[in-house]
Structure 1
């Protein structure tokens, strides 16, 4: 292959590399250099590269080139696991497709289905969707067809093909034509490759980023850990933020935790102790999620607390620190989380709070990423001084959360899920009551623990 210096060497139309130039994109990344020519040549493609390596443009540019040669709708379908990522991909398509008056639409849950159905009936060029909501539309309305699409893109392929979305994907794959180009992209490639061969008809071009060092995270990322007791995790988190802020006044911080409830509680607690933040999790309405994300992206608010909803694909250039408040059980999810910083050649830091129970998991993560985490020093004496303030703030946040309909919403969602699984209504109520009892016991224990700490 001849040496590729700029976008103009990729056999792209002049209007496309002019658009890239206007957006400040001068040189294609390795995944773009390797995949774009093959996609333009009509091959199916699987691209695997670290987060922040420009995967979206690797499929958006060739799709837009093919679209302007033969414009019609619906031309391409892009599937992605999270709503926020769907909006981000659509925005990138819109920014580059401005010159050809591109029409795109985003089909995700949490938004009005009637409005979406109307948008689909207008046959936009590009549809970016989450599988669940698109499958709902295929079930409930016949105002649009996916039978003529030229491209099927599966972004974050490992997550989409990991089993959670099988039912919806079956429905979607049945609605698309046999003759199409299939493009799969992800930061981590798993055994999902076999599934790919079932839906890709042509010869598949597979490109995986090589890294001589065998490290699955980018070199610019400084990865650290803080060892702390489980009961005082939140106080250690506050001290980590304070220590980081002492040398970095303006960089944005993303904090990842495990559940919607923890995410909401942590957000309320930190807001109460003076760390203004926004939360992002599945129990928040879609419009509020987008508003929170926009505040964070525009740097109006510099701390975002999230569940793994935000771990995939989101590109927020100002993120300089990622904190794992609760370390993920799966090393692959760690890679996606920490990939929110040190993107596109910029530097960044990831700090994981590790309890004694997490040591094995830490080693597993280190084995997977091929590098060792180093310790991040925090002042233990400072933690002792803020301990009571943090636990009181958390207790108050729990009381306030109890007074809202947060848990009610959660119960409704659980009921829906169990009904869809075909469970008996009486059985459902018993199951939910049992879960309530267990939670009540757990909270009682936590209360007793906090009282012994403060005395």
Structure 2
């Protein structure tokens, strides 16, 4: 089916030489001027190829590396068509993360300013009643996360908010179609009109994108960026091989070395879990670094504050989970650090794609242990690029080990005292009980799991300290 989509569209791909400016794409002069306000003078390849096809009414799949302008590839033609027949709700855009939803909303607002464009952001962490009123007021563009929008639909099943929607967009489509949002998407799609344009944009191609047939009612136009590598050429990718027990000391040393030499540069550190992300944030803060955190277990206000401070370059170091690896417009990330090596290449691609965006240069450093060699090789094969090892002065790192281990241990103790993650545990308990499990069995299971995790964390820390003394 996927190959069939490619065959349908292979003759439709527009050659770059035939259209080289936004005017050539058939856009109104005022919209070209608004693009110039955003610094867009010439279209990127994904914009060059997809915008004309969307303007003539085709469904579209656009696949391009991060930082190549995919958001504007669908926002520009939507605004163009909206200006010809303005009404609400004209377009529905779904995205997997709250931060990305706000970012997309900002880009629509700038593009549509001459129209008096009205947008609404429907995501978790905000008042449901207030959001329902915004939807009822029929904004031109509705940007939402699937879970929160599905909640609104289910709680107001008699409402018909979306019967006139012209565009349905899935941004970061590979993630939205990977299975975890199936129920929410089904709820949402049932409310959409059959006569609509469906647009899917992603940085990576996956089997899940083959499910376009369920979403699209017309033959889709398909465009994929042609490149032998998945990551951009301007990104320098390296790895550090270090012992697992003192990895935090190596990360701290590299971050300090980089920030001392480049005080105006920004560093984005990826962690594999909310718990580890919070622990690293507290650890770095205790060591004297000014850092922010971005993960799903802090409030929406804290998340937006950290994101905006980092984006405006007021905060130089942001520690995050993969919530920040998708689509977020962070144009000035100079160094991406993978505290852990991702288990799949796709996650690595999205993470390092936060640096070297829009033609800029950037760096990515991944910290691996002796147990991660196979994962590193798998990623190198997937991106068709061999990484060089970043040699680190082990003697100098040893000067940091004790201080870093103590700071990490204190961070974990502080999190335990604050009952970090309690809300998530409550929700997990509720889900398990609703699935039919006995409440007492659930409580015993969760308590044992919590005890095991705390014991393991403290044991690892004690072992590391003992090895340091020896």
Counterpart selection for 1:287 from 283, 293, 301: 301
Aligned pair 1:190/2:217, yes or no? no
Q: 1:444 Cα deviation (Å)?
A: 3.9
Cα drift, residue 143 of structure 1? 5.1
**Which of 436-445 and 8-17 deviates more?**
436-445
Q: Quick check: 1:238 aligned with 2:252?
A: yes
SS of equivalent residue, structure 1 residue 335: helix
Q: Normalization by structure 1: what TM-score?
A: 0.97
1:409 is aligned to 2:417: no
* Shift >6 Å, 4+ stretches: none
**Paired residue for 1:121, among 132, 136, 145?**
136
Measured in 2, the distance between the counterparts of 1:422 and 1:69 equals 53
Deviation at 1:16, TM superposition (A): 0.7
The TM-score, its normalising length taken from structure 2, stands at: 0.94
What is the DSSP-based 3-state SS (H/G/I as helix, E as strand, rest coil) of the residue aligned with 1:45? Answer: strand
Aligned partner of 2:445 in structure 1 is: 431
For residues 304-343 of structure 1, what are the structure 2 equivalents within 5 Å?
Answer: 304-343=318-357
Structure 1 segments unaligned to the other structure (5+ residues): none
Deviation at 1:378, TM superposition (A): 1.9
The residue matched to 1:356 in structure 2 has which SS?
coil
Residues 269-317 of structure 1: CA deviation (Å, up to 9, x unaligned): 0011111100011100111110111111111110000000111001111
Q: Secondary structure at the match of 2:358?
A: coil
Cα drift, residue 419 of structure 1: 4.0
Tell me: CA distance 1:334–1:269, structure 2 relative to 1, closer, same or farther (3 Å): same
The 1:18/1:444 distance shift into structure 2, 3 A limit, reads: closer
What secondary structure does 1:357 align onto?
coil
Give the count of matched residue pairs. 453
Match of 1:145 in 2: 161
| Residue among 388, 407, 424 paired with 1:374 | 388
Residue 44 to residue 421, structure 1, CA distance change in 2 (3 Å): farther
Deviation at 1:392, TM superposition (A): 0.9
Is 2:92 aligned against 1:38? no
Residue number in structure 2 paired with 1:204 = 220
Q: Distance in 2 between matches of 1:139 and 1:346?
A: 44
**Structure-to-structure mapping, 1:338-349, within 5 angstroms:** 338-349=352-363
Please list, as runs of the form range in 1=range in 2, the aligned pairs for 1:255-270 lying within 5 A after superposition: 255-270=269-284
Shift of 1:22: 2.0
Q: Secondary structure at the match of 2:372?
A: helix
Query: CA distance change for structure 1 residues 416 and 86 in 2, over 3 Å: closer, same or farther?
Result: farther
Q: Is the 8 A contact 1:123 1:144 kept in 2?
A: no
Contact 2:153 2:159 in 1 (8 A): no
Shift of 1:425: 2.4
Q: 1:274 to 1:118 in 2, by over 3 A?
A: same
Preserved contact between residue 74 and residue 126 of structure 1 (Cα < 8 Å): yes
Unpaired segments of 5 or more residues in structure 2? 1-13
Q: Is 1:296 paired with 2:306?
A: no
Q: CA deviation at 1:420?
A: 5.1
Contact 1:324 1:353 in 2 (8 A): yes
